[in-house]
Chain A
Amino acid sequence: MTNQLKITLCCTFLFFSSINVLQCKPFESTYQPLPAEKILITNASIYDGDGNEFKNTDVLVQDGKIIAIGEDLPVPEDFRIIDATGKWVTPGIIDIHSHMGVYPAPGVRTSSDGNEATSPVTADVWAEHSMWVQDPQYALALTGGVTAFHVLPGSANLIGGRGVTVKNLQRTTINSMKFPDAPHSLKMACGENPKRVYGNRGQAPSTRMGNAAGYRKSWIQAEGYLRKITEYEKKSEEAKELEYAPRRDLEMETLAGVLKGEILVHNHCYRADEMATMIDIAKEFNYKITAFHHGVEAYKIADLLADNGICGALWADWWGFKHEAYDMVQANIAIVDQARNGKGCAIVHSDDAIGIQHLNQEASKSLAAGRRAGFDISEARAMKWITSNPAKAAGIYDQTGSLQVGKNADIVVWSKNPFSVYALAEKVFIDGAMAYNRGTDLLPASDFDIGIISPTKNRTQE
């Protein structure tokens, strides 16, 4: 069933019935891919995103999926052939930490919608309700090979709200960009930001201990809410008719979603000691932290992260803008990756509209730093840091993030080895359709981009 049909049926059903049996979920993805092509990419060097490297290999794409990968695949009729001799092919790049859309360009106050900094806990807000679909930054990220990204609320709050994963294919409504069946995330933030924002107003939290108390109080509330809901749902239909269903609470719905394992926790946290504290809080309330973001000190507790199955979503080299970002080590990502004999989960994230266009270069710096620190890491493994690992952390690895038969054909053809600064993403496919083709006019333009410098041209046109 297509998403469009699902929505129509769902809403029709609701319209004719007064009961709540089939609950229509609002804000569902209505994403429709571009018309899929039949494509054979031939003779490529490949990093498959799962840690393997192949030479002279072909990739066959049909109906938006990868249907074969191998050497000398037979050339089927009426397939478009893309000769990738001398070129490199990778899965579409995925950024696990973006604020595109919620902090769009131009960075003006009227569309800076990333931080609901009016209360330290705003689990009720959803980033997708802020995202500006006309942000010109999406297309720029596409030119860097990014096919999907995860947008988070900002870090002003202890609990900042729900994040959303989207396809990097700009559309007129946000639902039609949402990645189908991707789970929501919950943004949490440690450290300086929440205590500064609220401490400056003379309210809690103004200290790191205030931060910790704030999370714990919220989870205690969420436990109570979840208990109430579960008890109600356990009741017989007859018993349910005798009382009102518990009143909905948007904040608690989000937090209960985490406790039920349906919403993934993405936790902004720089310092090693604070990350360890956050792991204890997660254990206290029996939820899982999917990834720590920024984690400039993650290398100090790399084993702890690996033991708890928590990814480090990190920069290659950012530091010094805050005290908690002072202890930068360029091998951070590699150390997290190599913890417990390679059981660690490392992700290169951008948090930046320029960085997202060059995640391959950021991975390259991290790889080089890791090798300098004495780790034996292959390029194929480092490619996981910007493909399969972020896909796993976003809960979409079953659909994308590596070149596997049956997965979405989210593919980048690079001019050179993508670990070189000189490599350019030449062709980018999303669900088997070419979304960007360097050197041609196939480049998405948002409404913002057109006619704004000169009436007859696009912003990015010569």
Chain B
Amino acid sequence: MKNDWLKIYLVSIFGYALIAFSVNAQTIVIKNATIYDGLNNSPFVGNILIDQNKIKKISTSNFQADLVIDASDKIVTPGFIATDTQIGIVEIGALSVTRDDSSNMYKIGFSIFNGFNPNSTLIPWNRSNGITSAITLPNNTSSPIGGLGSFFVLDSKLDVTGTSDMVMIGEFGGSSSKSRAEQFSMIEDLLVLASSLSKSDINSDLELSSLIDEWAISNAMDLHPRDLRALYKLVNENLPLIIKSHRASDLLKLIELKEKFNLNIVIMGAQEASLVTAKLAEHNIPLIFDPMNNIPESFDELASNIQMASKLEEAGIQMMFTVSRSHNYHLIRQGAGVAVANGLSYGAAIRSLTSTPAKVFGIEDRGAIESGKIADLIIWEADPLEPSSMPEYVFINGENIDLTTRSSRLRDRYTKKLDKPVIYRD
């Protein structure tokens, strides 16, 4: 076979390439799929050719492949990208020994990347429900901006695939014990400091330590060189800043900051965004929010409304969805369905789960069904926005993923082979 020949040829040249190659050395065709490509195209029926880890071709003509999956009458979407999770750094919420999401030491430069657990049970569970990659964020720190999140591919490999420290988080509004006016000044002071840093500064711990002493804000906040490096990255490398904020007037203040410091701001929560849609659209600010959350949970969130997603679509604002708990982050599908029931277009709902997060966070090789993209794909039993429907197949990096989860094992243990004692069942 051609592939075998290729394998041998490559092995003879590169030797060490054999292992990686033979694991993935197959081509897969998903035939007759109804394709929602995650981009602006209307759904269409076609065949998808996966070669190695990539989508090689999409066409109505037939392809030869090692494995052919008939997806007639099935919807195929890109794998969904989660944007606001604690996947891999919190196993059980109320058990601090299973949490790696916070730091007392670092305020702005705290990175969760080295704490990530690819064997977390949250990964197979979310994956079997359609989430193929995730941005994992630390808990908010005592600083109004700070804490670095990373991107992870949810393939459960101990050799982690991802991008470290690709986003910073922050919070602005009434949930802090500080006046929001004080928070605003602190953010401004930190950004002024950040703007003053040079490339040579950040290469020297000693230099940074003396700068920390010199600047009132870093001195008062007891910052560390790592914190200053993160600030430098924020203002010089266009790092997305996901800042949690709700009140309409606060959202306008964040727009002011964005313009003054040329920040790449993404607003999270944004329960009052529908009061300031025109401004948010004008300044091209993407939002992450829970489309099911219409509760005025605080005095910052009085305008929360179940129709928010459709209003944002009308205004042309990029949106992504979140849920309150990472254990079931896949429920962003249900949220997207609720948004559609309340006026959002179906296409916009799918984009919000796929290409929008890819674009906003620079994950450009994923999030769409397009030739050349990495093959993170889902074949759905039925409509993916119906929470009752589940994936039939999940592909991550072109690999057909086993959908067994700890939860499905527990289910089978108590519903099958009941003649055996529980402890000897599968």
Contacts and interface: CB of A to CB of B under 8 A. Distances in A.
A302 B303 CA distance: 43
Main secondary structure of the interface of B (DSSP, over half): loop
Given A322-B92, A323-B95, A453-B303, A354 B387 contact: no
Interface of A: 105-108, 136-137, 140, 143, 192, 299-300, 302, 317-323, 326-331, 335, 353-354, 357-358, 361, 364-365, 367-368, 372-374, 419-424, 448, 452-453, 459-460
Contact of B411 (A143, A299, A323, A358): A299
Given A299-B414, A317-B328, A374-B415, A105 B303 contact: no
Interface residues of B, number: 42
B411 A329 contact: yes
A91 B279 CA distance: 44
Contacts of A353: 295
A75 to B, nearest CB: 32
Interface string B316-332: 00000000010110010
B70 interface: no
Given A331-B411, A424-B341, A459-B303, A319 B298 contact: no
A357 B292 CA distance: 9
Most buried by B among A136, A140, A354: A354
A329 B409 CA distance: 9
B295 A423 contact: no
B295 A321 contact: no
Contacts of B91: 320
A335 B410 CA distance: 12
Nearest to A371: B388
A84 B7 CA distance: 64
A353 B325 CA distance: 15
Given A459-B303, A460-B305, A422 B298 contact: no
Contact of A331 (B328, B340, B342, B415): B415
B414 A329 contact: yes
Contact of A372 (B385, B390, B414): B390
Interface in B82-137: 91-95, 121-122
A315 to B, nearest CB: 10
Contacts of B341: 421-424
Main secondary structure of the interface of A (DSSP, over half): loop
Interface in B289-340: 292-299, 301-303, 305-306, 325, 327-328, 331, 334, 337-338, 340
Given A107-B298, A367-B388, A373 B337 contact: no
Contact of B340 (A105, A107, A358, A422): A422
Given A459-B296, A459-B302, A321 B388 contact: no
24 contacts: A105-B296, A106-B301, A107-B297, A143-B306, A299-B411, A320-B121, A321-B92, A322-B93, A328-B407, A328-B410, A329-B407, A330-B407, A331-B411, A335-B411, A335-B415, A358-B334, A361-B338, A364-B386, A372-B390, A421-B386, A421-B387, A452-B302, A453-B275, A453-B302
B332 to A, nearest CB: 12
A106 B296 contact: yes
Contacts of B294: 140, 354, 357
B410 A330 contact: no
A371 to B, nearest CB: 9
Contacts of B93: 320-322
Interface of B: 91-95, 121-122, 275, 292-299, 301-303, 305-306, 325, 327-328, 331, 334, 337-338, 340-342, 385-390, 407, 410-411, 414-415
Given A300-B414, A421-B337, A322 B94 contact: yes
Contacts of A322: 92-95
B388 A422 contact: no
Contacts of B386: 364, 420-421
Given A105-B297, A320-B121, A453-B303, 16 more contacts: A106-B297, A107-B298, A136-B296, A140-B295, A299-B414, A319-B328, A320-B327, A321-B92, A321-B325, A321-B327, A329-B411, A361-B334, A365-B387, A421-B386, A423-B341, A424-B342
Nearest to A362: B387
A300 B295 CA distance: 35
Most buried by B among A320, A423, A453: A320
Contacts of B95: 322-323
B410 A327 contact: yes
B250 to A, nearest CB: 14
A377 to B, nearest CB: 12
B111 to A, nearest CB: 24
A358 B94 contact: no
* 4 tightest Cβ-Cβ pairs between the two chains A and B: A421-B337, A368-B388, A320-B327, A321-B93
Nearest to B385: A421
